[in-house]
Structure 1
Amino acid sequence: MKSPVSVKSATSATAQPESSVLENRYGRTRATRTRDKRLLWGLGAVFAVVLAAWVAWTGLDGAAEKIEARDTRHTIIDDHSVSVTFEVSMPVNSPASCAVQALNESFTVVGWKVIDLAPSPLYTRSFTQVLRTTDLSNTGLIYKCWLT
């Protein structure tokens, strides 16, 4: 009687192991793992550089002296003038300038004036400014303040 030859043993001797075939088929080889690790490290390095640049940028921005202005009230005096009252908080003993404006119903600027604020030992001060207008104004407000 003939001895039976196993088909399985004949094919497995010449082929790669099954796990290696599956790894190659689905891209889980040693080269792809190395590439993935390098890619992740590179992305991590880019993230770290961006984070460090952001921290430096925001840290330097906070060092600047700041000035804040807030409208408190306005009074329409007549067709060609408005009174604007506002508060300014700024570093002590620093001069500043503020632009005050008057707007009509269609939000067109009908009055504008830049005023200079003298240095003071007070952090917050209140000011009232009368603006001459070209038309009847609907409101008066502070546009912007800056340190000079």
Structure 2
Amino acid sequence: MTTPDELDDRYGRAPSPRRRLTAAVAITLGVLAVGAIAWGAVGNVLDDVDVDTVAFEVVDDHSVALSFQMTAPAGRDVACALEARDTDHGVVGWKIVEFPSSDRRTAAYREVIPTVAEATTGFVNTCWVT
């Protein structure tokens, strides 16, 4: 019976060092790509900030008080963009608020947003880890 090595020798199908190197490089690049994608996905989850608007109160023609609850990574500084809108859904107030790092993951906040006209709503537009 003929072995696969004997057939390779007979028909000149010996694996070349170049082909082995190419395969090794392709496998290495594939493993690195999968690792980078996994690291990016885990990094995004670890820096995720969740915000729920609890209430808003139109204080006067030039301010809105906004109450919200934020869940953020412990030990990381966070910034939030707060927004006030009028009856036509136009932005009449905007404020960026920075929160220092804390050991607590979840906390409640109350902020006043200055407006240029009377607002009908106030909410947290977005928050991010700084």
TM-score (structure 2 length as normaliser): 0.67
Question: Which is strand-richer, 1 or 2?
Answer: 2
Stretch moving more, 53-62 or 121-130: 53-62
Question: Which runs of 5 or more residues in structure 2 are unaligned?
Answer: 1-32
**Residue aligning to 1:82:** 64
**Residue aligning to 1:92:** 74
**Residue aligning to 1:46:** none
- What residue identity is the alignment partner of 1:102? A
> Which residue of 83, 104, 117 maps to 1:101?
83
- What residue identity is the alignment partner of 2:70? V
Report the secondary structure of 1:94's partner residue: coil
> Which residue of 116, 122, 125 maps to 1:143?
125
> Which residue of 54, 58, 68 maps to 1:72?
54
- What residue identity is the alignment partner of 1:96? V
Larger RCO, structure (CA 8 Å, separation 6 or more): 2
Q: Take 2:51 and 2:34, find their aligned partners in 1: how far apart are those partners?
A: 28
Pairs aligned (count): 96
- Aligned pairs (5 A) from 1:1-148: 57=37, 60-64=40-44, 65-148=47-130
Larger radius of gyration: 1
Runs of 4+ residues deviating >6 angstroms: 53-56
C-alpha RMSD over aligned residues? 1.8
The Cα of 1:60 is off from its aligned counterpart by: 3.2
Question: Which runs of 5 or more residues in structure 1 are unaligned?
Answer: 1-52
**Residue aligning to 2:20:** none
